[in-house]
Amino acid sequence: MSNGTAVVLGLCVGAGLVVLVPVGLIILLLILRAVNVPPEPDGPPLVLTRSQLWGTWQDDQGGQLVFAENGTFNATDACGDYWDAGTDASSGFGFPSTMTGTGTWDSRVSEYEDNATEVSVEFAPGDVSGELVARGEPDSALLWTFIGAPDSGELCVLRKVSTQP
């Protein structure tokens, strides 16, 4: 092999590595992000009655959701994974992950969430909604959801701080 051929071969290998190494690293990072879903909050899936949901639930930033017996709620900077049906925007994708307002709430046992209670909130006038799932034990229940895609690493966790609305 002549010196000219060796130089050309060396340049080709070097150029290939300059392209392949960054592409390989990007692919590796995407794979790691996909398998690195943050853990759900502690405690087993939990079924709560409507009366167990009544009261004030607070997130780590001080935001609150207050569920009233009559199926209405009041939110003050409450975290969540919200969706705007009017614009099809959602939290984690250009839509806020905290909300303030009033509306209605409902609950049901969800077969898709390991038979846990799922709480739906719908803000008045009705375009923005969200859902939270119950976990833990009845005396230390929490409501939670991922904000945006599960692999984003963002969780919303609300703990009950008062039984009085």
- pLDDT tens digit string along 106-148? 999 988 878 899 999 999 987 999 999 999 998 899 999 999 9
Alpha helices in 36-145 (DSSP H): 50-53
Query: Of residues 41 and 165, which shows the higher confidence score?
Result: 41
Judge: domain 50-162, CATH 2.40.128.
yes
**pLDDT score at 42:** 78
Q: What is the pLDDT of residue 3?
A: 64
Cβ(101)–Cβ(32) below 8 Å: no
pLDDT at 21 over 80: no
pTM, two decimal places: 0.75
Evaluate if residue 105 carries a pLDDT over 90.
yes
Q: Is residue 92 scored above 80 in pLDDT?
A: yes
Sheet strands (E) in 87-153: 89-90, 98-110, 116-123, 128-135, 142-146
pLDDT higher than 70, residue 102? yes
Determine contact, residues 38/155, Cβ cutoff 8 Å: yes
H/E element holding 24? helix 3-35
Distance, CA of 150 to CA of 112 (rounded, Å): 16
Instruction: Compute the mean pLDDT over every residue in the chain, rounded to the nearest whole number.
Output: 85
Q: How far apart are CA 18 and CA 75, in angstroms?
A: 52
- Sorted by where each begins, the domain ranges of the chain are 1-36, 50-162
The proportion of the chain whose per-residue pLDDT surpasses 90, expressed as a percent, equals 61
